[in-house]
Amino acid sequence: MKRNRIVATLAFAVGVAGILAAAPARAQFGGGTQIVFDPQMFARQFEQLQQETATVTNLAQQLQYMIKNTTGGGAGIWQSNQNLLTNLGNLINEQEGLSYTVQGLSQQFQQLYPGYNTASTAGVQSPQASVETTLNTLNGALASAQAQAQDFQAEQALLQNLELKNQTAVGRLQAIQVGNEIALAQVQQIQMLRQLVMATMNSQNVAAANQVNNQVQSQLAAEAMFSAPPPPGITDLIHATSGVTPMQPQ
């Protein structure tokens, strides 16, 4: 709407300037027509023409600014990396570790690291299986970090593209769109950092659980050994070795 008003004003100003430039003063003397030059009127017309020309130039500049500021083209650079984030979480599963992305995580955790509930927990795995799962989890966390490192080259290409768009932005709209693309890229980096923190916490918790579970299992094994009844004949063997004659019941 504003652009239409500017175009109409331009057309009107050009028309007025043309009329002023093409309208000489005429006078009649003795029944004839003779052109009379009036310097003052000419000066006034020339000054008015200069004012109209300045107005037209100003309006033309405003129109150019409007065209630039409403020209898009800085959007669409950012691309979602949802597939990469999903694959990073699945890398621990692929290494046969215990990942935060697995279904039934709490149940599997209790089966691998039952602690004192060994007798009452269904599906408890062997200590060897718990150790292997712990090592596989640590390996998967390293693989997840490595996959993030391998994506640095693609991220750098995206940042260079954003910088180029920032340097060559034409008008306000393109600059705003580039700023929005940069904001989206920052959010994406925060997501990648969160995934790395989750993978680190995943591996640390599994390693700590394995250590605690091993300590509990060793304690349970020691308690079972000391509380078990002595095997047959072991009492006579101890007495014979010590030289003490056992007392016979009366």
Identify whether residues 13 and 51 lie together within a single domain: yes
Share of the chain above pLDDT 90, in %: 30
Identify whether residues 102 and 65 lie together within a single domain: no
User: What backbone torsions phi and psi does residue 114 show, to the nearest 5 degrees?
Assistant: -75, -20
For residue 246, is pLDDT > 80? no
For residue 26, is pLDDT > 70? no
Identify whether residues 45 and 136 lie together within a single domain: no
Share of the chain above pLDDT 70, in %: 74
Identify whether residues 101 and 180 lie together within a single domain: yes
Identify whether residues 89 and 206 lie together within a single domain: yes
pTM: 0.63
How much is the pLDDT for 45?
85
Identify whether residues 26 and 111 lie together within a single domain: no
Identify whether residues 30 and 111 lie together within a single domain: no
The pLDDT-based confidence of 39 (bands split at 50, 70, 90) is confident
Amino acid, single-letter form, for residue 225: M
Number of domains in the chain: 2
The residue among 69, 94, 116 that closes a domain is: 69
Residue 7 near residue 62, CB atoms below 8 Å: no
DSSP H helices in the chain: 2-21, 39-69, 82-94, 105-112, 127-150, 152-167, 171-227, 234-242
For residue 25, is pLDDT > 60? no
Angstrom distances, CA of residue 143 to CA of 81, 95, 137 = 18, 9, 10
Identify whether residues 58 and 151 lie together within a single domain: no
Q: N- to C-terminal Cα distance for the chain?
A: 122
How much is the pLDDT for 147?
93
Identify whether residues 189 and 121 lie together within a single domain: yes
pLDDT tens digits for 126-172?
888 888 999 999 999 999 999 999 999 999 999 999 999 999 888 88
Identify whether residues 98 and 45 lie together within a single domain: no
Give the mean model confidence (pLDDT) for residues 181-193.
94
> How far apart are alpha carbons 121 and 215 in whole angstroms?
18
The pLDDT-based confidence of 197 (bands split at 50, 70, 90) is very high
pLDDT tens digits for 82-99?
898 889 989 998 999 999
How much is the pLDDT for 233?
62
Residue 136 has which token pair? 């596989």
Domain extent, residue 98, equals: 82-227
> How far apart are alpha carbons 52 and 38 in whole angstroms?
21
The pLDDT-based confidence of 20 (bands split at 50, 70, 90) is very low
